[in-house]
Structure formats: C-alpha cells, structure tokens
Amino acid sequence: MEPDSKHLVASASVGAAGLVLVGVICVLAARPALATAQFAKDTGKSCGACHTATAGGGPLTPFGKKFHDNGDKLP
C-alpha cells in the first residue's frame, strides 16, 4: 500500500517548517566576533599568535588561552 498524497504533503510541510525553525534559531543565536585585526595592529602580533589558524579564528593557542584567561590583556 502506497502512502497517499496528503501524508506526503504533510511530511514535506513538517520538514520544511523544521528547516525554517533551525534557520531562525541560527540567525538569532549568532553573535558578532569579538576579536579584531585591530589587536594585531596595536600589539604587533599576528592573529596566529592567539589562534591556531595563522589567518586568525579557530581554536586558541596556549598563548591565546593565557590571554583570554587574563581578561584579554597581555600576560
């Protein structure tokens, strides 16, 4: 026995509503980045001094963790 078209449409509608809900949650939960290239300019350190990615972003290096734990002040 094949599912009827009403059930297929209802299933598709629920799936689409779920995707929209996930999208809305992602938009509302997004926060601006706190780090800026200005820190690198002010201190003469590269973004890679604090981040594992040399261009900045991603997990912190041990220095970056120390900087963060020190209230975002140079140790």
Instruction: Render pLDDT for 6-58 as a digit per residue (tens, 0 to 9).
Output: 666 666 677 788 888 888 888 888 776 666 677 777 788 888 888 898 887 88
Phi, psi (degrees; rounded to nearest 5) at 60: -85, 150
Higher pLDDT, 24 or 1: 24
Q: Is the pLDDT of residue 1 over 60?
A: no
pTM: 0.46
Higher pLDDT, 59 or 40: 59
Q: What is the DSSP string of 4-37?
A: PHHHHHHHHHHHHHHHHHHHHHHHHH-------H
